[in-house]
Amino acid sequence: MDNWTDGPVRSRDSNWTSGPLNARASVEDTIMRRVRYHAYGGPEVLTVEEAEVPSPGPGQVLLRTEVIGANFVDTLIRSGRPEGSPYHRPLPGTLTGDVLGTVESVGEGADPALAGRRVAALVAVDAFADYAVADADWLSPVPDGLDAAAATSLPLIGPVALGALRMGRPEPGATVLVHAAAGAIGHLAVQLAKLRGAGKVIATAGSPAKLDFARAHGADVAVDYTDPDWPAQVRKAAPDGVDIVLDGVGGDTTRQSLDLLAPFGRAVVFGSAKGEMFDVPIWGVLGLRSVAGFGLLAFRTARPDLARQDVQDVTEYAVSGRLRTAVHARVPLAEAATAHRMFEDRTQAGRILLVP
């Protein structure tokens, strides 16, 4: 069983904003709960509504949801971004998530043997629901005995952390700087850097508690990025520069990180939690430094063999206990707004799970 004592546990008893429904939908009922929003704004726009249980299309499966790993990026999209922004989505808004569940049915062309299997999947549309549709080709098998939190790391956050690290081409003994090291991806990146032979891992986070959390997950040095002189603290810890920066924050954090790279150092950007787009200054790379971007879906398309290997490696690390997925909170599906408030308050350390 999962140990939820390291974070707040919310009650399942709550009022649904769209009226009373069954406590748990079934395929036979054909009605389920899902969370959407019909206006941009704060977490309060998230609404639990009734919907028919979807049918899987060609190459898809229908999952009965066990838990959903929430993703910070949805808070940026939900808040409303101008057209042209990578965080703009039309209304009505749906939520992404890393869904752990059991395959209830398969669509045309999907392997019928998948039915009944416990799997995890990245769901891009209506992940916050009692049932979710996922692509059969990218299901992550869940080994027996693997806890729910670890299982939700298999489709997205684990492979992103590992793929970004590998894109940085780590060498034995490398110094790795991980930004937002208490986040869902960041705390896995810290551990994976050590597992892949880093000599020193420097973590940034935004509070004393998060700094302790990063150290507890393997960081050798932890720096508060809210301190204006955080770059100086990194330089003190790595006077010869850092070899790899793993950056899911973006904006001026990326610009400042370029100055911290050693010659031939590499910054790998896999997200922009600040919601800011930025231009890489030419002076920032002339000192034999480079910047690369990592996107999981693009990686799946370009190198499906390596993408699948990353899932396998993350699974093996998790099963062996060498990679730990921390749970900050377990929140009922009907209280999805609470999960988004946790993201926006920057209080979470590790993963936030939604439970139907």
Q: How many CB atoms lie within 10 A of CB 5?
A: 7
Cβ 96 vs Cβ 84: under 8 Å: no
DSSP run (H or E) holding 101: strand 97-106
Which residues face 267 on adjacent strands? 245, 291
Series of mean pLDDT values for 10-residue runs along the chain (356 residues)? 36 35 50 97 97 97 98 95 87 97 97 97 98 98 96 98 96 97 97 98 97 98 96 98 95 91 96 70 80 95 97 98 97 97 94 97
Q: What is the pLDDT of residue 82?
A: 86
* Dihedral (Cα; 202, 297, 34, 115), 10-degree rounding: -110
Q: Give buried/exposed letters for 21-54 (b at 16+ CB in 10 A, else e).
A: beeebeeeeeebbbbbbeeeeebebbbbbebebb
In the chain, the domains with their CATH numbers are: 31-153+325-355 (3.90.180.10), 157-298 (3.40.50.720)
Angle between helices 157-167 and 304-320 (to 10 degrees): 120
Amino acid at 61: V
